[in-house]
Structure 1
Amino acid sequence: MNPAAPRPRRRAERRVAAVAAGCALLLTLAGCAEESSSPGDADPTSAADELDLAPDDDGFAPLPLYFVALSGQYPSGVTGAQIGCEDLLLQVNTVPMKTEDPVEDALNFLLQDQQYRHGDPALTNSVLLSSESLTLQDYEIQGDTVEVNLSGSVVTRSVCESYRIRAQFEATAAAAAGVEDARILVDGEDLDTLLGLDPFERGEQITTD
């Protein structure tokens, strides 16, 4: 197969029961050697891109998710990219789980999360503000980009929160699809345009003290 050829578009049914159960799983910060009951309680030891997300022999693999540490409230000893209002975008992984569709399950995990804040200092999930108004429809991977189609309304409370929502969606979709970039559409409109933001660029990678 030509690796640059588009993968078939997939219909993303909202498997609420399965993903809701997944939200009860333990989370670990990328690169963490120990499991934790909350993203903010982890003790990371290496950069996120060093973590192996490939399924094991039984088909189990962690889902890569992205959460945000707010400016001035960074956890210690973590590595992430600065975004928006000097917030820090951090990769967080579920414990290994069996999934036939990591892109769908990772995005629905964010939408169906039960808490805005996790741990202390907290990692935040601004995506869940749209949990009652936004639905994942489908996605398509072509080359090094995944295009995600959502339907409904994006709920945001500020420009800073808009940056967080966009960053979480794009980074999570790209990581789960195993590609470099993501494009997010809401009822056919680009999320950047909808939120009035410039195209997404991750800032400098920093490691906190």
Structure 2
Amino acid sequence: MTTRRLSTFSILGVCALFALSGCFGPPSPAPTSSSSTPSATASPVTTPSATASPSAPISPSTEPVPTTTTAPSPAPTSPAAREETTSPGLPEQVAPLTVYYVAIGDNGTSGPMIGCGDSLVATTTAPVRFTDQVGPSIRTLLANKSRAVGMSGLVNVLYQSKLTYLGGELDGGTITIHLSGQFMLSGVCDIPRAKAQLEFTAMAASGATSARVFVNGRPIDDVLSLK
């Protein structure tokens, strides 16, 4: 009886031992599917850090250059090209022109006395562009077809004359101008007035101290002579 009871207890003890080993044994290894999942989800986290790293800035040389900054600028006009359109040796400038008219009966009060007790008076135009001032000044005088010079009281005795400026040259202190056409004057006193208007206008334009005027190749004194 004692032997059989021990055997029974022995069997129960062994069974109990196996049951306990099943409950407290080493943990089973984690499934492979669950262990690979974190590594797959963690990989995107490291990707932005590589692109945002300050150790590798974008080089400015790789940026595209706008075409407007690389377009060639137009070539500047050379001084030689500008000089071809102007008179050789004379710089282009902008300034008023000086033109002379007559103050009849002024007796030299307003300017140099000429003719029949008259005065020669200098007037100025609006600024004009020129290289040779003599030509524009004489042409301005000849283009005035009014006897009265505005409200100034001055007179232009050349207003009826049909004259054209041909050219001129400066020799030392003397300016020589050449005209073509004919004079249309109102009387004897207009002869010194017309001559003075032409000569003084030419001297003011050239800076000369004396002037000679030729009309149709002849000296003005011969053309205006009453002989």
TM-score, length-scaled by structure 1: 0.60
Partner of 1:195: 224
How far residue 166 of structure 1 moved from its aligned partner, in angstroms, is 0.3
Structure 1 counterpart SS, 2:137 = helix
Q: Does 1:110 align with 2:134?
A: no
Whether the 8 Å CA contact 2:99–2:137 is kept in 1: the answer is yes
Whether the 8 Å CA contact 2:178–2:216 is kept in 1: the answer is yes
Whether the 8 Å CA contact 1:80–1:90 is kept in 2: the answer is yes
Measure the CA separation in 2 of the matches of 1:184 and 1:73: 25
Measure the CA separation in 1 of the matches of 2:96 and 2:125: 5
Structure 2 counterpart SS, 1:106 = helix
Structure 2 counterpart SS, 1:165 = helix
Q: Greater CA deviation, 164-173 or 97-106?
A: 97-106
Percent identity over paired residues: 36
Match of 1:179 among 199, 205, 208: 208
Q: Go from structure 1 to structure 2 and tell me whether the alpha carbon gap of 1:73 and 1:170 turns closer, same or farther (over 3 Å shift).
A: closer
How far residue 171 of structure 1 moved from its aligned partner, in angstroms, is 0.4
Q: Does 1:66 align with 2:66?
A: no
How far residue 100 of structure 1 moved from its aligned partner, in angstroms, is 2.1
How far residue 73 of structure 1 moved from its aligned partner, in angstroms, is 9.6
How far residue 118 of structure 1 moved from its aligned partner, in angstroms, is 1.9
Aligned residues: 136
Q: Go from structure 1 to structure 2 and tell me whether the alpha carbon gap of 1:114 and 1:128 turns closer, same or farther (over 3 Å shift).
A: closer
Q: Go from structure 1 to structure 2 and tell me whether the alpha carbon gap of 1:143 and 1:68 turns closer, same or farther (over 3 Å shift).
A: same
Measure the CA separation in 1 of the matches of 2:106 and 2:111: 14
Deviation readout 1:56-87 (Å, 9 max, x if unpaired): xx93211111000111599xxx7301100001
Whether the 8 Å CA contact 1:73–1:121 is kept in 2: the answer is no
Unaligned runs of 5+ in 1: 1-54, 198-209
Structure 1 counterpart SS, 2:144 = coil
Partner of 2:171: 142
Match of 1:125 among 156, 159, 170: 156
Q: Greater CA deviation, 95-104 or 184-193?
A: 95-104
Structure 2 counterpart SS, 1:163 = helix
Please state which structure has a larger fraction of its residues in strand: 1
Whether the 8 Å CA contact 1:146–1:181 is kept in 2: the answer is yes
Deviation readout 1:146-184 (Å, 9 max, x if unpaired): 111111211112111111100000000111011111100
Measure the CA separation in 2 of the matches of 1:73 and 1:170: 19
Structure 1 counterpart SS, 2:200 = helix
Structure 2 counterpart SS, 1:80 = coil
Structure 2 counterpart SS, 1:124 = coil
Unaligned runs of 5+ in 2: 1-90
Partner of 1:81: 112
Structure 1 counterpart SS, 2:158 = helix
Q: Does 1:159 align with 2:188?
A: yes
Measure the CA separation in 1 of the matches of 2:201 and 2:125: 12
RMSD: 2.2
Whether the 8 Å CA contact 2:146–2:156 is kept in 1: the answer is yes
Q: Which has the higher contact order (CA 8 A, sep 6+)?
A: 1
Q: Which structure has the larger Rg over C-alpha atoms? A: 2
Deviation readout 1:87-118 (Å, 9 max, x if unpaired): 11011111322222211111010111142102
